[in-house]
Amino acid sequence: MDSTSVRGVRIASFLLLVFISAAGTLAASDETAPARDPKQAVDEAYTAKIQKYTTAPYFTSPLVNYLPASKTVPTPETVLGDVAGAPGVLPYAEDVYKYMRLLEKASPRVKVFSIGTTEEGREMIAVAISSPENLKNLEENRARLTKLADPRTIKLDDAEADKLVAQAVPVYYITGTIHSPETGAPTALMELAYRLSVDESPYIREIRDGMITLITPVVEVDGRDRMVDIYKWHLAHPKDFYPPLIYWGKYVAHDNNRDAMGVTLKLTENVLNTYVKWKAQVLHDLHESVPYLYDNTVGDGPYNAWVDPILTDEWQMIGSRNVADMTKFGMPGVFTHGDFDTWSPGYLMFIAAMHNGISRLYETFGNGGADTQERTLDPEEYARTWWRQNPPLPKVLWSQRDNNNYEQTGLLTSLHYFNENKRLFLKNFYLKAKRSVAKPSAEGPAAYVLPADESRPSLQAELLHVLQKQAVEISRAKAGFTVALPVKKEKPKKDGKDKKDTKEAEKDKKPEPTSRDFPAGSYIVRMDQPYARIADALLDHQYWSPDDPQKTPYDDTGWTFGELFGVQVARVTDLKVLDVAMERVTEIHAPGGVKGDGAVFAINNAAEPALATLRYKLKDANVEAAEEPFESGGKKFNRGSFIIRNANRADLDRAATEVGLQAVAVGAAPSVKTHAIRAARVAFVHTWLSTQTEGWWRLALDDLKIPYDYISTQAIAKIDDLNAKYDVILFPPVGFFSSPTAIINGMPTAWGNPLPWKNTPETPNLAGKNDSTDDMRPGLGWDGFAKLQTFVQKGGVLLTATDTSRFATEIGLVTGVSAQTSERMKIVGSVVGTRLVDGASPIAYGYEEKVPAYCDNGPIFSLSSISGARGRRRLGNESRSRPTGRGTADEPDFTVGRPGVEAPEEPTSETWEAPPVTDEQRRNGFRVIPPADRARVIFRYADQKDLLISGLVAGGNEIAQHPAVVDVPSGKGHVVLFSINPVYRGETRGTYSMVLNTILNFDSLDAGRKLAEK
């Protein structure tokens, strides 16, 4: 080795050292600093107002503490009359759109797209901001993204994907104000759009040139306009209390952000379509609640089981970086870990998580309007924790501008970080799609099959429609096929089961089948497709362990769509299913119409909601329900099947085709007992306390075209004769503030001012076509209660569910049923098993022995035949053992000195039944409810071991076997009580017919009833 080479080595290692240390700082200095361009003029007047409305120097950042000036592009002030986030300024959606379209006119960097309308007909938009070149090449870029989104188009070729990744411009989709009282996003997004199109600082220019920012500034447009009405009313009446925002959209309030599974609301459908059409990489939804910015992208466990771990890594990367960037700006109260779990895929942002993108959500701090207010926090909100090292302050003066500063700063740093790493994120976008396509062989299943011999074809079609809305591909088998079933492992039996359990287990013990046949025409949801993930998440079962460290699930824990729709869905792991001859289908419609010859038509009742639709469509037809099953023309008909006599065949054919029901013409009506099915006149009652939970019921009835009058509890007292107007009164769950006393009393009226909810020149959007009132505060009142009672006594049917059932039992509308709450039981929005108890009841028509249902902690019903007595609750086994004495365990004791006396056999009863009336109770038994007046249990909860179908069930023994649906006779009428919620979030269509059966059979609910002897 000569000296030169020695020196050479030394030089090389010296250079290496230099390189390493330079790389260490390069990572930071390589990224453009968040600072304005000193060469670009500032809009001094606008900037001065930004500073004026920001309440503390640390509530802003170098990204938003100024506004760049433009000679051609108008600032938000043009429309708002002040700067974004100014006190007292809250624009209607229309004004926000007006501004976005002014931007589009003034700048080649902005394009506005209409993305659909709301239930009330208002427009929704998406605003794209990028370089003129990117906007010019939108279609070319979309083609690239589409290939990455569907790797099958490039034969899963990574090299080809890399080329596309290098060329593609990513799309970052931001959505604002889905929650109407969370008011800050629209102005923040107006100003953000301005900055992105005007600012020449390198930091912003990189975002603009490197990616497409897509913005839907107002998601809940109907609710936004109501909220602005209320805010303006508040400004005009500053000393008064203002009405709480009881309606947001037409149907639901806060739950509009729980619709990303069922896709029943227009806003979900429009955002989903936009997200999928643009092949966006991120969906970032803006909310307001906790101080000051909770980027709940990281959140807490449990994470949804169906998301790709690549995504959960992206959450960590983006979330942590977001906190770091804002912390460096000195902005307090920014954090990303917190109590939000991502288990449920129902949130709007989760459209991205389930379609190979990145879901994100901000909670910033809002004042619910544009007033600047002093805000005091709870100790846990300002505590310094390991995940919130720079917590919010205990007490601050807070303005909408502060909120806008946080929203914009968070978004700009996010956009910049995303752009810096866009090749990584685009590659991940491709990889997630590729891994979806590889799902059948990677982790399975291979497919879900919905068999062609489904007994509820119209519900099957509805489930498939949901999947289609989710952009899932559906195929149909051209021939019958067989798949191998996975071998189930035997579980060791636990001791301590009672006799009944063992007996049932013995009965169920058939040899496990090893294969399953499916007929031609069966629907196949292949899992080797890019959007397999959402199909899997909706159709699979969920299990939330009672021992999970997360003790407060953020939302529902179970939702399995096949179970809740009451249709067969087979999870198939056998890869051979993918080789079955099949074709893609786009039009899915349940077969319907009239078959056969004859003047009488029969339609099977399989608990399909379409039956009710058909009844109302054929308003003048003579429709009857069979009270017993029958056979006709070789076809079996269930109890409750329709027998239609005087219908025009062509009319019936058209109507049955539309709703997807098969009518069979028969020579003569079957010789079974029948009763008339009349189109009941329905009143639908809501409170002024909360309307969301009933909103899901309204949505379902509207979809099914079941007519009803929508009236408030206040209106009940004002109707002279309820029976003259209505046959059935539906009183669906209230939700918040739903105690029985609150339903009677309403909101406090002893102080304060009236809270009007109506359309006036001052509040033109408030009521829309929903209900209105001069004062929201009064409730049902005792007059209204008396009216309801009289309605039932005179023969009306009142249907209640969950909290309104509790109301009916506690306030005394029914006798012999009590409803209790449990502190220990935890059934948090789960799918549970119910069992048919009385199949002869019309409420049960079309249902089988086992019916899955949605339950959220009860109430727990118990029956008693003694008026005023609380029903018995059975907690576990109650087998009584003999007292201490002589003999063996099953021998009698003796009494010394007299002959033994055999104790009378104790009458037994099931948990869902009322305990038998004893001889002692019958002595002067004025409290004994006569058999004809006793409650009739239609469905009960399953035994404890069968209770959990999907989700979380802890302490389920408290509700196991208790009644789930009860029909209580009262006078000449009935009160029907539900412990389950049969109509919920568009997900529970399998149990809709329990409600619809009640409506259709309103005057024959006693059909098939067997009375107790005494």
Binding residues vs Zn ion (CB under 5 A): 179, 182, 287
| Sequential DSSP letters for 84-153 | TT-TT----HHHHHHHHHHHHHH-TTEEEEEEEE-TTS-EEEEEEE--HHHHHTHHHHHHHHHHHH-GGG
Residue closer to Zn ion by CB (options 179, 639) is 179
Q: Which residue has the tokens 């699930």?
A: 553
Q: Which is nearer to Zn ion, 177 or 911 (CB)?
A: 177
Tell me whether residue 366 or residue 660 sits nearer to Zn ion (CB atom).
366
Q: How far is the CB of 986 from Zn ion (least distance, A)?
A: 20
Q: Which of 284, 137, 307, 316 is nearest to 219 (CA)?
A: 284
What's the CA gap between 917 and 936, in Å, rounded? 16
What CA dihedral angle connects 581, 586, 589 and 590, to 10 degrees?
30
Distance CA 247, CA 253 (A): 6
CB of 256 to Zn ion, least distance (A): 9
The nearest distance, CB 387 to Zn ion, in angstroms, is 21
Element (H, E) at 294: strand 293-300
User: 517: part of which helix (H) or strand (E)?
Assistant: strand 515-518
- Cβ proximity to Zn ion: between 185 and 652 the closer is 185
| Residues 744, 713: Cα–Cα separation, whole Å | 8
The Cα–Cα gap between 423 and 427 comes to 6
The DSSP H or E segment spanning 481 is strand 481-484
- For the stretch 765-768, contacts whose Cβ atoms lie closer than 8 Å and that sit 24 or more positions apart, written own/partner, are 765/92, 765/222, 765/225, 765/226, 765/228, 765/229, 766/226, 766/229, 766/230, 766/243, 767/247, 768/120, 768/222, 768/226, 768/247, 768/250
Q: Return d(Cα 390, Cα 393) in angstroms, integer.
A: 9
The pairing of strands 850-855 and 474-477 is unpaired
User: Cβ closer to Zn ion: 219 or 614?
Assistant: 219
Shorter beta-carbon distance to Zn ion: residue 182 or 225: 182
- Tokens 């909810």: give the residue: 757
CB of 257 to Zn ion, least distance (A): 6
Nearer Cβ to Zn ion (425/554): 554
Distance in angstroms (rounded) separating the CA atoms of residues 952 and 758: 41
Q: How far is CA 1010 from CA 864, 937, 968, 982, 1004, in A?
A: 17, 11, 14, 25, 14
Which CB sits closer to Zn ion, 182 or 771?
Answer: 182
List the structure tokens of 945: 């071991």
CB nearer to Zn ion: give 70 or 268. 268
For the CB of residue 286, give the shortest distance to Zn ion in the complex, in Å.
Answer: 8
Identify whether the C-beta of residue 879 lies closer than 8 Å to the C-beta of residue 498: yes
Nearer to Zn ion, 36 or 179 (CB): 179
CB of 840 to Zn ion, least distance (A): 47
Please state the closest distance from residue 294 (CB atom) to Zn ion, in A.
11
Measured between alpha carbons, how far is 133 from 129 in angstroms, rounded to an integer?
11
Q: Closest distance between Zn ion and the C-beta of residue 335, in Å? A: 17
**The tokens of 383 are what?**
């505590």
Which amino acid would we find at residue 861?
A: F
> Measured from the CB of residue 178, what is the shortest distance to Zn ion in angstroms?
7
Residue 443 is given by DSSP the state T
User: CB of 276: closest distance to Zn ion in angstroms?
Assistant: 23
Closest CA to 175 of 218, 235, 228, 122: 218
For 23, the token pair is 């790389």
Among candidates 156, 171, 436, 150, which has minimal Cα distance to 311?
436
Cβ–Cβ under 8 Å, residues 594 and 663: yes
CB of 179 to Zn ion, least distance (A): 3
Of the pair 179, 698, the CB lying nearest Zn ion is at: 179
364 versus 830: smaller Cβ distance to Zn ion: 364
Comparing CB distances to Zn ion, the nearer of 279 and 287 is 287
Nearer to Zn ion, 182 or 229 (CB): 182
Q: Smallest gap, in angstroms, from Cβ of residue 402 to Zn ion?
A: 18
Q: Which is nearer to Zn ion, 287 or 777 (CB)?
A: 287
CB of 331 to Zn ion, least distance (A): 21
How far apart are CB 287 and Zn ion at their closest, in Å? 3
Closest distance between Zn ion and the C-beta of residue 980, in Å? 27
Minimum distance, C-beta of residue 254 to Zn ion, in the bound complex (Å): 7
Three state DSSP letters for 808-844: HHHCCCCCCEEEECCCCCEECCEEEEEEECCCCCHHH
Q: Smallest Cα–Cα separation from 1011: which of 913, 915, 931?
A: 931
Contact 544, 558 (CB under 8 A): yes
Closest CA to 534 of 168, 275, 830: 275
Cβ atoms of residues 985 and 261 within 8 Å: yes
CB of 779 to Zn ion, least distance (A): 27
Pair 222, 119: CB distance under 8 Å: yes
Nearer to Zn ion, 230 or 527 (CB): 230
Distance in Å, CB of 184 to Zn ion, minimum: 11
- Evaluate whether 138 touches 170 at the Cβ level (below 8 Å): no
Quick one: 79 or 185, whose CB is closer to Zn ion?
Answer: 185
Task: Closer to Zn ion by CB, 182 or 381: give it.
Answer: 182
